[in-house]
Amino acid sequence: MKLRRLLFALVLMIGWLLGACSPQDPASSAAPVKREVTLTTVAAEARGFAVGSMMNANTVYVFFDSQCPHCGHLWQASEALHGKVKFVWIPVGMINATSAAQGAALLTAVNPAALMSEHEASLLAGKGGISASSSVPAEIEKAIKNNTRLLNSFGAEAVPFTVARNLKTGQTMGRDGAMSTAALAGFLGLDLP
């Protein structure tokens, strides 16, 4: 029993060090055929909420699970870049049942950016995030399931998963894990002041 606990703690520590959250249900991570990650596919098939420079032609897509602390760190790192690019945050349901309920609350919020900031501050403080009804409208539940399937179809194994076009190279890339503001800016090809 002690060995099992030690192994479990080691697995958790390794996951934390890698900077991304993975699904707890192995069946939910089974991806069919891996699809190419493209901005066009994400824009056409995902449902999320936009923050940042709304009129900016460069859109950064971030798949996130509301129960993932690494997603919270990426949210906080991205805030300094909201004036430079448009971010679309796409909720998925990978970690637990609360993920979909909180994702639905964020998708349907009048001011999703403010609610997301409140949620991530609460989550990172160890308080579990915002309260959300477990009764999710069918269309929103379907959207979150579709977002999760889309993420899995890319072969992504963890969240946050960021899809963007680097402004300097023009290359579209997908990357999982949290990043600092400087690392995110570098990934996006942005210069920081």
Whole-structure pTM value: 0.84
Band (22; pLDDT cuts 50, 70, 90): low
Q: Which residues contact 34 (CB under 8 A, 6 or more apart)?
A: 153, 154, 155
Q: Which residues contact 94 (CB under 8 A, 6 or more apart)?
A: 21, 22, 23, 24, 28, 29, 65, 68, 148, 151, 159
Q: Does the pLDDT value for residue 60 go beyond 60?
A: yes
Give the chain's mean pLDDT.
86
With contact defined as beta carbons under 8 Å apart, do 106 and 93 qualify? Answer: no
Q: What is the pLDDT of residues 118-139, one digit of tens each?
A: 999 999 999 999 999 888 899 9
Band (30; pLDDT cuts 50, 70, 90): very low
Which pLDDT score is estimated for 2? 52
Supply the CATH classification number for the domain 20-188: 3.40.30.10
